[in-house]
Amino acid sequence: MRPRARRAAWGWGRAPCWTHCRGHWGYDPPGSFIFPEILRGELPRPGPGQEGRRPSGAAVTDPRLIPANGRVAAAHLRGQLSADAFVEGRPARITAPLSDLLHRPCGPRERQLPLGSAVTVFEWRKGWCFVQSARDRFVGYVPETDLAPPGPEPTHRVAARATHLYAVPDIKQRERALLTHGSLLHVIAVKDRFAETPHGFVPAAHLEPADSLSRDPVAVAGLFFGTPYLWGGNSASGIDCSGLIQAGCLACGIPCPGDSDQQEAALGTALPPEAPLRRGDLLFWNGHVAWVSDPGTLLHANAFQMAVGQEDLQDAIDRIAAQGDGPVTARKRLEELHG
């Protein structure tokens, strides 16, 4: 996915403000979906010594990762930038099946956060929470109804491309929600091939222990084959190029940023142009990234196919250059896969 600086060309900023309401699941789930502090409008408040400070000149490099919005900033940023208040964040988890992390309330999507994703909340304002995602440090806004204070730790994650959540352990009943790959759940018990969770019942065959690791990120990415391309997408309903890379890496326990430029800077070891490619290597362009599924084939979410698909490696290189997006900028190898 391209950096935010390149997004203006796509005409973003006109995204509709969809109505967010309680009842993501079609029923009132157990427990509060909303912080008591949020209901009272008390998150956050400046504490002693948390009044705004002027910048000290320390560099703030990537705004996608800086927990500050002008009104509030994380306490550890005091002295580095200006804000009305510096606050300690509150831990929370996503309680919606899937939550868009937005650049601003009702604004363009930055990334998506599946059920159970951990975040830190720095501000509540007019029904929106300003948060930072734990898995890639992206900051943005989610509806207050998509959050709850942390409950029991997740024990399992959705390892299939997607699964359904049911009110009762019966596949003939109407599903309550679609849960995407990587969703995190606290499993209470497993009986008759169903895992019971606080939200309902999920087919146990679609789950793995939360701490289990895959060994082949390309196989994980292949679960999304045919998934529609979606800018900023991280789910089985829609995914973009960097989302596909992140899905494979995180499933293998490899920390992974959210956008392709960040991934190019952070992931793997650079390969010389003449080095033969292996499965699991990464190819980067300006604003794009792809998995190498075999030495002559790429697997990537791309706007040419408007889906996750395979493409001949040289054909892709030639096509991308011909459409004006330039040459390959980096070839990287994830040493974690070959150690």
- pLDDT tens string, the chain, 339 residues long: the values are 544 333 222 222 333 333 333 344 443 333 333 344 433 334 343 333 333 322 333 344 899 999 999 999 999 999 999 999 999 999 999 999 999 999 999 999 999 999 999 999 999 999 999 999 999 999 999 999 999 999 999 999 999 999 999 999 999 999 999 999 999 999 999 999 999 999 999 999 999 999 999 999 999 999 999 999 999 999 999 999 999 999 999 999 999 999 999 999 999 999 999 999 999 999 999 999 999 999 999 999 999 999 999 999 999 999 999 999 999 999 999 988 876
Please enumerate in sequence order all residues whose Cβ is within 8 A of that of 61, keeping only pairs 6 or more positions apart, or say none.
Answer: none
Nearest to 285 by CA among 245, 247, 250: 245
Q: How many residues does the chain have?
A: 339
Please enumerate in sequence order all residues whose Cβ is within 8 A of that of 149, keeping only pairs 6 or more positions apart, or say none.
Answer: 32, 35, 90, 91, 92, 93
200 strand-pairing partners: 197
Cα–Cα separations (whole angstroms), residue 235 to 153, 243, 337: 22, 8, 24
CATH fold label, 156-209: SH3 type barrels. (2.30.30)
Token pair for residue 9?
């060309």
Environment class of 122 (CB within 10 Å of its CB; exposed 0-12, middle 13-18, buried 19+): buried
Residue 57 sits at the vertex; the CA angle it makes with 56 and 61, to the nearest 5 degrees, is: 120
Per-domain residue ranges of the chain: 22-148, 156-209, 217-337
Residue 227 sits at the vertex; the CA angle it makes with 92 and 281, to the nearest 5 degrees, is: 85
DSSP 227: P
Q: What is the pLDDT of residue 339?
A: 63
Its pTM stands at: 0.84
Alpha-carbon span 218 to 281, nearest angstrom: 9
Helix (H) or strand (E) holding 217: helix 217-222
- Residue 194 has, within 13 A of its CA and on its CB side, a CA count of 16
- For the domain covering 217-337, report its CATH number: 3.90.1720.10
Q: What are phi and psi of 71, to 5 degrees?
A: -80, -45
Q: Are 142 and 132 in contact (CB under 8 A)?
A: no
- For the domain covering 22-148, report its CATH number: 2.30.30.40
DSSP per-residue codes, 139-182: EEEEEGGGEE---SPP-EEE-SSEEEEESSS-TTSPEEEEEETT
Q: What are phi and psi of 147, to 5 degrees?
A: -125, 155
Q: Are 134 and 91 in contact (CB under 8 A)?
A: no
Alpha-carbon span 209 to 184, nearest angstrom: 10
Q: What is the pLDDT of residue 337?
A: 83
Q: What is the pLDDT of residue 180?
A: 99
312 strand-pairing partners: 297
Token pair for residue 30?
């157990």
Q: Do domains 22-148 and 217-337 have the same CATH topology?
A: no
For CA atoms 148, 259, 3, 225, the dihedral sign is negative
In the block, residue with structure tokens 């596909």? 244
Beta-carbon neighbour count of residue 282 at 10 Å? Answer: 26
Token pair for residue 144?
């207050």
